[in-house]
Structure formats: structure tokens, C-alpha cells
Amino acid sequence: MTEILNDADRDALLAELGPKGWTLTDDGKGIQCQFKFGTFPEALGWMVRMGIIAEKMNHHPEWTNVYNRVDVTLTSHDAGGLTTLDAKLARKMSAD
Ligand SMILES: C[C@H](O)[C@H](O)[C@H]1CNC2=NC(N)=NC(=O)C2=N1
């Protein structure tokens, strides 16, 4: 199991991903971001690409899709908080 990020590492992660739209969840145990696309097929295609990556990582997003919008929350249930796996998946999502 990966370790929960300490306060300094969490702050560094938010400084890195904040400009890309990621914020800490209200409970502080995850990060969230809203992705917007031009069309539903673009949103769905992105979800499929990210889903394949997530499955390979064995680390899965909590997400909802409405038309061209995907709301994502990343947290590590196993560890009970935010870990480097969440950071890794968030970077992949924001890089696509
Ligand atoms: C048994 C399996 O390794 C776990 O259930 C994995 C699967 N995917 C997961 N995804 C996420 N986001 N957090 C987890 O803690 C997690 N755990």
C-alpha cells in the first residue's frame, strides 16, 4: 500500500496541480478536478483512455460524466487518503 502524503508533499502537489484545476476535497482525503470537452464523444474517449491507464495502475477514479463534462475525484481508499498514486493518475489526466 502506498503511504498517505505528508503535509509538505500534499502542499507541493497542490502547487503543481492547482494551476491545472485540481483542488483538495472538502474532507482533505482526495483531490478533485472538472474536465470539459467540446462534445460527449470527446469526453467519453478521454474516459476510455484514462480508464485503461487506471486499470493498468490498479488505481481507479471516482468520476461522473454529464454530456461534455467529467468530474473526477482521486483518493486512495486502501490508504485512507491522498497518496502518490493519486498524484500519478492526476498528472496523466491533466497531460492527455
Ligand atoms: C484490491 C485493489 O487493489 C484495491 O481495491 C484498489 C483498486 N483500485 C483503487 N482505486 C483507488 N482510487 N483507490 C484504492 O484504494 C484502490 N484500491
Question: What is the domain partition of the chain in residue ranges?
Answer: 7-17+30-94
Which residue among 56, 60, 93 is best mutated to probe the pocket of ligand 1, counting the most ligand atoms within 8 A of its Cβ?
60
Report pTM: 0.94
Listed in sequence order, the DSSP H helices in 1-96 are 7-17, 40-57, 84-95
Taking the CA atoms of 41, 22, 26 and 4 in sequence, report the sign of the dihedral they define: positive
- Find out whether the beta carbon of 77 lies less than 6 Å from any atom of ligand 1: yes
Residues 6+ apart with CB under 8 A from 20: 33, 94
Give residue-wise pLDDT tens across range 1-23: 689 999 999 999 999 999 999 99
Nearest residue to 46 via CA among 34, 57, 58, 30:
34
Confidence of residue 96 (pLDDT cuts 50, 70, 90): confident
User: How high is the ipTM of this complex?
Assistant: 0.86
Interatomic CA distance for residues 33 and 18, integer angstroms: 9
User: 7-17+30-94, which class in CATH?
Assistant: alpha beta
* Interval between CA 12 and ligand 1 midpoint (Å): 24
